[in-house]
Amino acid sequence: MKFEHFALNVPDPRAQAQWFAQHLGFTITRARPDTPFMHFLADETGRTIVELYSNPKAAIPDYRTMHPLCFHLAVVATDAKAERARLEKAGATLFLEDPQPDGSLLIMMRDPWGVPLQLCQRTVPFPMP
């Protein structure tokens, strides 16, 4: 099997998908204009990685109260501090800046809806397709 996507039930998937596209460089690969307003987002490799939707059949979690170690979306950042500053101007908030012993830098933020977002500036990058 291969990974398809990770899905989040959110209050405003259309606005959040636009924010991810504008500020994280994701591409909306599929969108549904009616309930549950599903939006599938791909990273710069073209792989669809996350789905945002709003389905009233389940409660929308209060992401702001959830610790980012429960879950987070992680993105590669070549200059994590610069990306942090840029994303803060776009409405994201800082949770933790976490320098690693190997020189990597992990910065945990929250998007404007409270979903945890991690900026990963690694000294040894993960293999990418």
- Mean pLDDT, rounded, for 105-117: 98
The CB density around residue 56, as the number of other CB atoms within 10 Å, is 9
The CATH code of domain 61-129 reads: 3.10.180.10
CATH topology of domain 1-58: 2,3-Dihydroxybiphenyl 1,2-Dioxygenase; domain 1 (3.10.180)
Q: What is the pLDDT of residue 128?
A: 74
Split at pLDDT 50, 70, 90, the class of 101 is: very high
pTM: 0.94
Question: Which residue ranges make up each domain of the chain?
Answer: 1-58, 61-129
- Residue 14 near residue 37, CB atoms below 8 Å: yes
| Chain mean position to CA 91 | 13
Q: What is the pLDDT of residues 54-100, one digit of tens each?
A: 999 999 999 999 999 999 999 999 999 999 999 999 999 999 999 99
